[in-house]
Amino acid sequence: MSKTWLITGSVSGIGLSTAELVLARGENLVATARNVDRLLNLVRRYGKQVELIELDVTDAPAARGAVDTAMERFGRLDVLLNNAGYAHLSPFEQVSEDDFKAEIDTNFYGVVNLTRAALPVMRRQKSGHIINISSSSARFGSPGSTAYTAAKWAVSGFTASLAKEVKPFGVKAIAIEPGSIRTNWTRVARGHVPPLLREYEPTIGAIMRMTEGYAGTEPGDPDKVAVVIFDLSRQDDLPEQLVLGSDALGRIAQSDAVRSAAALYWDKISRSTDFDEPTTPLPLLD
């Protein structure tokens, strides 16, 4: 049985690769973007299988309208892929308040808005998959991307908590945490760097030098990511978080080793804040 998808950020990268794959496999699609002109080719190729919606994911009423359109057009919503997002590389000190908030709003509250709109539908259906594109940056800190990293940590934490809430009524939620994917992400991120204060040359400057010429050589294949996402939409037993990419696995392993060593080193201090009398800790709920 074919499913109905709603994908945000459908014009490029993982979003476009997934949109093309689900349509090629006979699924129905509501494809959203800030400018859908670049998606008209999908309508020419797939006709009534696809509905295009111009959507700013930070607009909560518009997010509800996108879900309503999916229901009116196709009668149900089976898969929500929250993919819209971007990053700007810059020291936190040199990011304006408006730019910082805008990046958080798109990368995190966009996920919240679409999920809030879709969840009542999926709860009534007693089925559905909410697939949120997070980042391997949700596992470690990245200098130069404070807003993006904060938002992706929020996406992964939100998804892990949500997965436990919705599991009893048949809805699944998962955060995909990819490494470097060969999309326009690196080019966009590098394209907004201000002239650096000299104190940030050893950190942000090093990242700029390291990523120079990196765009177009990233190890991750967006088409292969799309295949994984499609396969996940057919599965009931999902992890709360799934890392994609050998580069991501390597960086996370390094970060986990440092974190484990720090936890061991600071163990006595960590335990020193308990009351002296025995207490019963709350269990981890699954």
Q: How far is CA 201 from CA 96, 190, 206, 215, in A?
A: 19, 15, 7, 21
Which residue segment(s) compose the domain that 84 sits in? 4-251
d(CA 209, CA 189): 13
Whether residue 152 lies in the annotated active site: yes
Which residue among the candidates 17, 134, 136, 156 is catalytic per the annotation? 134
> Residue 284 domain-assigned?
no
> Residue 22 domain-assigned?
yes
Assign residue 201 the CATH number of its domain.
3.40.50.720
> Residue 275 domain-assigned?
no
> Residue 89 domain-assigned?
yes
The CA-to-CA distance between both ends of the chain, in Å, stands at: 30
Whether residue 2 lies in the annotated active site: no
Beta-carbon count within 10 A of 170 CB: 13
d(CA 206, CA 217): 18
* Ramachandran angles phi, psi of 33, nearest 5°: -165, 165
d(CA 157, CA 175): 9
> Residue 151 domain-assigned?
yes
Number of structural domains in the chain: 1
How do the pLDDT tens digits run along the chain, 286 residues long?
Answer: 789 999 999 999 999 999 999 999 999 999 999 999 999 999 999 999 999 999 999 999 999 999 999 999 999 999 999 999 998 888 999 999 999 999 999 999 999 999 999 999 999 999 999 999 999 989 998 889 999 999 999 999 999 999 999 999 999 999 999 988 887 666 565 566 778 899 999 998 888 887 777 677 777 899 999 999 999 999 999 999 999 999 999 999 999 999 999 999 999 999 999 999 988 888 887 7
> Residue 285 domain-assigned?
no
Whether residue 172 lies in the annotated active site: no
Which residue among the candidates 46, 109, 148, 200 is catalytic per the annotation? 148
Residue 153: predicted pLDDT: 97
Q: What's the predicted TM-score (pTM) here?
A: 0.93
Which residue among the candidates 135, 152, 200, 233 is catalytic per the annotation? 152
> Residue 91 domain-assigned?
yes
> Residue 127 domain-assigned?
yes
